[in-house]
């Protein structure tokens, strides 16, 4: 490994930051754990764990309901979290932040609610590299409404073929729904340009940012996206909570998604009127502890500095790409010019599962399979890959450990 301290590696004291993540400091199969499955879910810093614990120990109560002391405390914490998160993504107003169960539910909400007005002939435009959660809700909608799903192809490098995107985008397109960053390839899409081109034709844009928030800052006003979806657990927060950001006027115009408590203004058997934003889209008791935990994760990221994370990870990506691709017989799937440290790879004719199993025995956690992107795997003519997905707390030394592990797998499995 190259031990020269560049400005980016010096700016982020990774060894020190690692101490904030208790789960990183354990053994797996008698080896130090090397956790490289961050695109599936990230580990949580102590501050997030402590915040959730403190909520249950001393603030636990339902929100928006009671006049009593604890309920007020819980409501303040919950709504405070909304303000923190809104300001983190630079939303104009906290009412533009809707709490959901995660990216999957955020996309389903938009497909269901915004899609309710679609008519036969309308088109939904997505890309080949979408996660199943940005495919299936649109397929279901198209089936219900008689609309057509159009798919932007990707190149051999795993980049959106821009001319094809321009060709597919039209007045018939009712929504463009694409990922900012691919969970399977690591590709960072030219989102800003895509949004500009879509808006030029009056097409609203939903961004699946599940893999964007863990790797750097996000500014919804600069992007000018109409909807942005992300999951807490992919950005060092707890599971079971996520966000749908939507422009206020657009959200105001949408019918409710689920019915129940908290989303209403008044209910009678003659009819119901609905609450204002954001509560109108948050039926039932929300994941209060989860939301508060997500706020703690955002505060943690702010302290570390999302910009410093981006520049450190750029170096980590280069190093990992060089190190892994220099191993004889290894093929990296996804070689886009702009990438986050996600390495999908194949080793000779070894099945990814077998490779993953040997890595696991060495304490190295990678994911194997299709990564919830079966159409993308089909595009590359493969059933799946082994995927090492890194976060800012991963080190150059861990990349070396992965490379050693791959060489070991090769020597054991390849003839």
Ligand X SMILES: *Cc1c(COP(=O)(O)O)cnc(C)c1O
Q: Do residues 335 and 158 make contact, with C-beta atoms less than 8 angstroms apart? A: yes
CA atoms of 236 and 197, how far apart (whole Å): 33
Q: Is 118 helix (H, G, I), strand (E, B) or coil?
A: coil
Q: Within 372-401, which residues bind ligand X (CB under 6 A)?
A: none
CA atoms of 38 and 371, how far apart (whole Å): 12
Q: Is residue 104 part of the contact set for ligand X (CB under 6 A)?
A: yes
Q: Is residue 210 part of the contact set for ligand X (CB under 6 A)?
A: yes
Q: Which stretch binds ligand X (CB under 6 A): 2-10, 99-107, 167-175, 336-344?
A: 99-107
102, 137, 278, 334: which one binds ligand X (CB under 6 A): 102
Q: Is residue 128 part of the contact set for ligand X (CB under 6 A)?
A: no
Q: What's the burial of 96, exposed, middle or buried (CB within 10 Å: 0-12/13-18/19+)? A: buried
Q: Which stretch binds ligand X (CB under 6 A): 28-36, 102-110, 120-128, 144-152?
A: 102-110
> CB under 8 Å to 264, separation ≥6 — which residues?
272, 273, 274, 275
51, 95, 131, 339: which one binds ligand X (CB under 6 A): 131
Q: How many CB atoms lie within 10 A of CB 25?
A: 10
What's the closest the beta carbon of residue 273 comes to ligand X, in angstroms? 31
User: Nearest to residue 174, comparing CAs of 134, 202, 133?
Assistant: 202
Q: Within 299-358, which residues bind ligand X (CB under 6 A)?
A: none
Q: Within 227-246, which residues bind ligand X (CB under 6 A)?
A: 231, 234
110, 126, 147, 179: which one binds ligand X (CB under 6 A): 179
Q: In 180-302, where do the E strands start and end? A: 205-208, 227-231, 242-246, 264-268, 271-274
> What value does the CA radius of gyration of the chain take, rounded to a whole number of Å?
22
Q: Do residues 274 and 267 make contact, with C-beta atoms less than 8 angstroms apart? A: no
> CB under 8 Å to 129, separation ≥6 — which residues?
154, 158, 160, 179, 182, 184, 185, 187, 373, 376
What's the closest the beta carbon of residue 47 comes to ligand X, in angstroms? 21
179 catalytic residue (yes or no) = no
| Nearer to ligand X (CB atom), residue 228 or residue 358 | 228
| Nearer to ligand X (CB atom), residue 137 or residue 356 | 137
Q: Which of 225, 229, 355, 372 is catalytic?
A: 372
75, 127, 211, 344: which one binds ligand X (CB under 6 A): 211
- How many angstroms separate the Cα of 197 from the Cα of each of 152, 233, 238, 251, 391? 14, 31, 35, 22, 31
| Nearer to ligand X (CB atom), residue 275 or residue 385 | 385
| Nearer to ligand X (CB atom), residue 104 or residue 321 | 104
| Nearer to ligand X (CB atom), residue 9 or residue 231 | 231
208, 226, 295, 398: which one binds ligand X (CB under 6 A): 208
Catalytic residue positions, numbered: 372
Binding site for ligand X (CB under 6 A): 39, 102-104, 131, 133-134, 179, 183, 208, 210-211, 231, 234
């Amino acid at each position: 490994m190259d031990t020269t301290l560049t400005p980016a590696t010096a700016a982020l004291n990774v060894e020190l930051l690692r101490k904030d993540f208790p789960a990183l400091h354990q053994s797996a199969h008698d080896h130090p754990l090397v956790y490289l499955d961050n695109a599936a879910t990230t580990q949580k810093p102590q501050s997030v764990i402590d915040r959730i614990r403190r909520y249950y120990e001393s603030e636990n109560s339902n929100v928006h309901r009671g006049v009593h002391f604890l309920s007020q405390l819980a409501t303040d914490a919950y709504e405070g979290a909304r303000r923190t998160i809104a300001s983190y993504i630079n939303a104009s107003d906290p009412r533009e932040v809707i709490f959901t169960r995660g990216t999957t539910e955020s996309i389903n909400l938009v497909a269901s609610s915004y899609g309710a007005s679609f008519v036969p002939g309308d088109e939904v435009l997505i890309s080949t590299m979408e996660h199943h959660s940005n495919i299936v809700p649109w397929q279901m909608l198209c089936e219900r409404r008689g609309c057509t799903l159009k798919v932007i192809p990707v190149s051999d490098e795993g980049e959106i073929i821009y001319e094809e995107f321009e060709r597919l985008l039209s007045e018939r397109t009712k929504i463009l729904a694409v990922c900012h960053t691919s969970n399977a390839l690591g590709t960072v899409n030219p989102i800003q340009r895509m949004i500009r081109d879509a808006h030029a034709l009056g097409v609203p844009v939903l961004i699946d940012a599940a893999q964007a928030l863990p790797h750097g800052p996000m500014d919804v006003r600069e992007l000018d996206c109409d909807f942005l979806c992300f999951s807490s657990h992919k950005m060092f927060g707890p599971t079971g909570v996520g966000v749908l950001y939507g422009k206020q006027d657009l959200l105001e115009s949408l019918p409710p998604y689920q019915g129940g408590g908290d989303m209403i203004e008044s209910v009678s058997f003659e009819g119901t009127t609905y609450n204002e934003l954001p509560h109108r889209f948050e039926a039932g008791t929300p994941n209060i502890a989860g939301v508060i935990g997500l706020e703690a994760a955002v505060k943690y990221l702010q302290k570390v500095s999302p910009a410093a994370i981006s520049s450190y990870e750029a170096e980590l990506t280069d190093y990992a790409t060089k190190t892994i691709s220099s191993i004889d017989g290894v093929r990296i799937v996804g070689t886009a010019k702009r990438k986050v440290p996600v390495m999908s790879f194949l080793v000779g004719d070894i099945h990814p599962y077998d490779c993953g199993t040997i890595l696991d025995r060495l304490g190295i956690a990678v994911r194997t399979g299709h990564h919830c992107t079966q159409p993308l795997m089909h595009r590359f003519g493969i059933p799946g890959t082994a995927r090492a997905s890194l976060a800012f707390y991963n080190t150059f030394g861990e990349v070396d450990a992965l490379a050693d592990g791959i060489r070991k797998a090769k020597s054991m499995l390849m003839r």
